[in-house]
Structure 1
Amino acid sequence: MTRPPLYVRRPFLAGLLRQLPLLAVLVTVGTGLLLVTFDHWRRGLVVIGLTLVVAGVLRLLLPVRRVGFLAVRSRPTDVVLLTGAGLALTVIALTIPSP
C-alpha cells in the first residue's frame, strides 16, 4: 500500500517546506539590514549582496516545485537579475572608500 504524497496528507507542511529557500533568503537579508542599522553598513550590504547571489544559485539549481516564491519570472531572468544585483551590491559596498 502506497502512502499519498505529503501535499495531500499535510498541505500546510508541504507548503511551508516549499517556501524554505525564500525564508532562508529573507532571514539572511534581515540580518544584513540589522547590521546596517547598527552602523556596520559595509558588512550588512555585503551580506545582503551575497544572499542575493545565493538566491540566484538556488533559483538556478532547485526545481520549480521546490523553489517556492523565489520563482517570479522565467528561470534565466530570475538568475540574471538576482546574481547581477547581488554582485553589483557587493562590489559597490566593497569599493566605497572608508572615511
Structure 2
Amino acid sequence: MTSPRRGGRSLLVHLPFAVVMALVAIAALRIGMYHWRQGAALIGGALLVASVLRAALTDEQAGLLSIRGRSVDILSYAGLGILILFVALTITGGPLG
C-alpha cells in the first residue's frame, strides 16, 4: 500500500506537464476559433514555459517534461518555441489575415 503522502507526491510530478498541456489546449481552442496566429503563438509560448520548467525543476520533479538529457530538453523546447513564435508573428497577409 502507498501512503497518502506518496500518492499526492506522484500527482505533483505531473503538474508541470499539465500546465504545458493546458496552454496547448487553450491554443487549440484559439486555432479552432480561426485565430490561428494567436494559437500558434500560444503553442510557442507553451514550449518556452516547458523549457523554463525543465531548467528550474529536477529530473524527478519535471515528470513527463523530462524526455532526454536536461540540456537537450531545454534546447529543444526553447528552440522550437522560438521558431514557432517567429513564424506566427512574422507571417502576414493570406486569407486568415
Q: Secondary structure of the equivalent of 2:63?
A: helix
Query: Offset of 1:48 from its aligned partner?
Result: 0.7
| Number of aligned residues | 92
Shift of 1:14: 1.3
The alignment status of 1:64 with 2:59, answered yes or no, reads yes
Q: Distance in 1 between matches of 2:13 and 2:33?
A: 32
Deviation at residue 98 of structure 1 after TM alignment: 2.8
* Percent identity for Structure 1 against Structure 2: 34
Alignment of 1:82-93 (within 5 A): 82-93=77-88
Corresponding residue for residue 51 of structure 1: 46
Unpaired runs of 5+ residues, structure 1, are: 1-7
Task: Give me the TM-score of the superposition, normalised by structure 1.
Answer: 0.88
Q: How big is the shift at 1:61?
A: 1.0
Task: For residues 22-62 of structure 1, give each alpha carbon's deviation from its aligned partner in whole angstroms, at most 9, with x where no partner exists.
Answer: 00000111110110011000001001101101101110111
- Residue in 1 that maps onto 2:74: 79
Which residue of structure 2 aligns with residue 96 of structure 1? 91
The structure with the larger Rg is: 1
SS of alignment partner, residue 92 of structure 2? coil
Between the aligned partners of 1:98 and 1:68, the Cα distance in structure 2 is: 40
Matches of 2:47 and 2:56, distance apart in 1: 14
Unaligned runs of 5+ in 2: none
Question: What is the TM-score when the length of structure 2 is the normalising length?
Answer: 0.89
After the TM superposition, which segments of 4 or more aligned residues of structure 1 sit over 6 Å from their partners? none
